[in-house]
């Protein structure tokens, strides 16, 4: 059983056809999900698509994957690009992340310090599966997580450009919690825009979201193949 957690770009995804949806209650809160033959899919913004990034119950989401028997979790995460050569509409498989603030944990009553990283073997499977399908993906990149929900200022973007490649609001929290529960976690980042000020164009998040769900054939093919590969 594999876990998939995704946002805006997976709305109406074909792999969900035939999956049944339900709510699972956990000690961390309740989670709306889809259960297929070989996968569990959690839409991280909830059933009504109205949970903003800073209010997502990451602990309940990731705990649910473990509770339902997932060994691996793939996150599909929307990002903005900090680099001119990482173009919107590309797919990037990050190899590390920066998130030194708002770090979530399951360890509130016990002193445990995990060593965080993305799962390298899962990352390699994503990349080789994509290449077998002829889907171009960028191998590696540093993901920087902000709390959101606002986008970054131009000054923040200039600062982040020195240390990271893409910016998002969700992936690092999921990766950290999955590691705490000993599940493999890797991410498929969909590059939906250039970050504020990277190019000379006004950023509009409504447009980012609209673009994110358009024309994602490659992403859908990749996820379908990964479900077969990892089941
Ligand atoms: N910044 C932060 N998170 C994002 C962006 C961005 O530009 N685009 C998609 N998620």
78-97 pLDDT, tens digit per residue, is 999 999 999 999 999 999 99
DSSP 140: -
Q: What is the residue range of 145's domain?
A: 2-230
Q: Which atom of ligand 1 is nearest to the CA of 152?
A: 1
Do the strands 72-81 and 166-168 form a parallel or antiparallel pair, or are they unpaired? antiparallel
- The predicted structure's pLDDT at residue 227: 94
Pocket flag, ligand 1, residue 198 (CB < 6 Å): no
CATH number at residue 94: 3.40.50.1580
To test the ligand 1 pocket, which listed residue (157, 195, 198) has its Cβ within 8 A of the most ligand atoms?
Answer: 195
Distance CA 105, CA 58 (A): 9
Whole-number CA gyration radius for the chain: 17
Q: How far is the CA of 135 from the centre of ligand 1 (A)?
A: 23
Pocket test for ligand 1, best of 75, 143, 156, 193 (most atoms within 8 A of CB): 193
Ligand 1, atom 7: closest residue by C-alpha: 80
Structural domains counted in the chain: 1
Could you tell me the distance, in angstroms and rounded to a whole number, from the CA of residue 212 to the centre of ligand 1? 11
- Average pLDDT, integer, range 165-184: 98
Does any ligand 1 atom lie closer than 6 A to the CB of residue 24?
no
Helix H or strand E segment including 171: helix 171-180
Is the CB of residue 167 below 6 angstroms from any atom belonging to ligand 1? yes
Q: Do the Cβ atoms of 33 and 226 come closer than 8 Å?
A: no
Beta bridge partners of 77: 189
**CB count in 10 Å sphere of residue 173:** 25
pLDDT in tens, 12-42: 788 888 899 999 999 999 999 999 999 999 9
Residue 4's beta-bridge partner residues?
41, 74
pTM: 0.96
pLDDT of residue 77: 97
Task: Report DSSP state, residue 5.
Answer: E
Please work out whether the CB of residue 4 comes within 6 Å of at least one atom of ligand 1. Answer: no
Sign for the CA dihedral angle at 105, 111, 117, 118 comes to: negative
The closest residue, in CA terms, to atom 3 on ligand 1 is 168
Q: What is the mean pLDDT of residues 181-208?
A: 91
CA distance 23 to 144: 31
The yes-or-no verdict on residue 219 having pLDDT over 80 is: yes
Residue of 2, 166, 198, 183 lying closest to 96 (CA atoms):
166
DSSP state of 54: G
In which band, very low, low, confident or very high, does the pLDDT at 226 lie, cut at 50, 70 and 90? very high
Q: Is the pLDDT of residue 9 over 80?
A: no
């Amino acid at each position: 059983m594999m876990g998939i957690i995704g946002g805006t770009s997976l709305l109406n995804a074909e792999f969900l056809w035939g999956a049944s949806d339900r709510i699972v209650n956990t000690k961390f809160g309740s989670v709306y999900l889809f259960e297929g033959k070989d996968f569990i899919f959690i839409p991280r913004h909830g059933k009504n698509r109205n949970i903003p990034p800073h209010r997502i119950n990451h602990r309940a989401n990731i705990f649910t994957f473990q509770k339902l028997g997932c060994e691996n979790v793939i996150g599909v995460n929307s990002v903005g690009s900090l680099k001119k050569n990482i173009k919107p509409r590309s797919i990037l498989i990050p190899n590390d992340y920066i998130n030194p603030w708002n770090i979530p944990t399951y360890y509130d009553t016990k002193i445990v310090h995990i060593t965080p990283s993305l799962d390298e073997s899962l990352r390699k499977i994503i990349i080789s599966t994509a290449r077998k399908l002829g889907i171009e993906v960028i191998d590696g990149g540093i993901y920087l997580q902000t709390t959101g929900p606002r986008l970054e200022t131009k000054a923040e973007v200039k600062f982040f450009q020195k240390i990271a490649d893409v910016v998002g609001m969700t992936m690092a929290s999921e990766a950290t919690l999955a590691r705490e529960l000993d599940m493999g976690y890797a991410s498929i980042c969909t590059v939906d825009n250039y970050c504020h000020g990277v190019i000379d164009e006004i950023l509009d998040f409504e447009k980012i979201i609209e673009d994110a769900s358009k024309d994602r054939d490659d992403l859908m093919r990749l996820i379908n193949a990964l479900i077969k590969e990892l089941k």
